[in-house]
Amino acid sequence: MKKALITGSSGFTGKVLRNRLAQKGYSTTGFDIVRGDGNQDIRNKDAVDLAVKDHDVVFNLAGILGTHELIEGNIREAVEINVLGTINVLEAARKYNVDVVEIGKPNLWLNTYSITKKAAEDFSLMYATEHGVKVWIVRWYNVFGPGQHYGSPQKLAPTSIVKALKGENIPVFGSGEQTADHIYVDDAVDAAIAIYELNDAMGFPVEVGHHHMTINKFVDTVLKITGSKSRIEHLPMRKGEAPMATVKANTEFLNKIVGFNPKRDFESGIKDTVAYYKAMVNAGQI
């Protein structure tokens, strides 16, 4: 039985990943500042060192997210958590000979989040090359599903679904004709585990995406499934994003070498996600 530490374990993807690892026979430990304990803060080098010790692998999901939110403020905090926190993980992994799975993202733009996540990837590769740390890098493209945080930072799935359920205008930045990959959370975490379990995937980024579409099509699907009369409200592009971007994963390695293909079709994934937020709205929790 392998022992896995999951940083960011209280987050949307962290919870699903931890549950899935347990289902696959891993012994799991969570590590997340949401617990309100300074000894669960990835910025605390000693706490990270103690947590990593006696584990076989760390899945590093801890991070502060945001696009324009991290341009207007919290830049230093993002660097401390996303970059220095990752270095703390890598240092401990080097010390105790522990594997690291660094969860990354597509890094197309000059915004704080993309810059810090790219730096975390690069430091991970440096530790692999120079210090022999066994590192796997998994780039998730726009994960969605039940449990994703609604609010700030603003994410497409929870924002469009909650607004549709409430009959409010749905904000879309730019024309909405920019395209992106979207992957259901169960598929994303299963892909991460499959990548880690293949030694041939070690030492370079493996991209994980699935449903490629325009933002307008994503929102139209939400409107159809919810039966909402909400309207799309086009807003100026956010700082830190480029108009008419194409964000598409190269999944050739994932499909052909790892042998993993996402299973969840887009509409059924959205239906399950809508059901989750509908219950939250009806309970007055959103």
pLDDT at 36: 57
CATH number for the region 3-282 comes to 3.40.50.720
Cβ neighbors of 130 (< 8 A, separation 6 or more) are none
- The pLDDT profile of the chain, 286 residues, written as one tens digit per residue, is 899 999 999 999 999 999 999 999 999 999 998 755 668 999 999 999 999 999 999 999 999 988 878 887 789 999 999 999 999 999 999 999 999 999 999 988 889 999 999 999 999 999 999 999 999 999 999 999 999 999 988 999 999 999 999 999 999 999 999 999 999 999 999 999 999 999 999 999 999 999 999 999 999 999 999 999 999 999 998 888 888 899 999 999 999 999 999 999 999 999 999 999 999 999 999 9
Contacts of 159 (CB under 8 A, 6+ apart): 150, 170, 171
DSSP 128-194: HHHH---EEEEEE--EE-TTPPPSSS--HHHHHHHHHHHTPPEEEETTS--EEEEEEHHHHHHHHHH
pTM: 0.95
Helix (H) or strand (E) run with residue 19 in it = helix 12-23
- Report, in angstroms and rounded to the nearest whole number, the Rg of the chain calculated over CA atoms: 19
> Which residues, other chains included, contact 36 with Cβ-Cβ below 8 Å and sequence gap of 6+?
none
**pLDDT at 90 (0 to 100):** 98
pLDDT score of 35? 59
The two most distant CA atoms of the chain are separated, in Å, by 57
Domain boundaries, the chain: 3-282
Q: What is the DSSP letter of 237?
A: P
Region for residue 119 given its phi and psi (left: phi exceeds 0; alpha: psi -120 to 50; beta: otherwise): alpha
48: its two tokens: 């990270």
Burial of 1 (0-12, 13-18, 19+ CB in 10 A): exposed
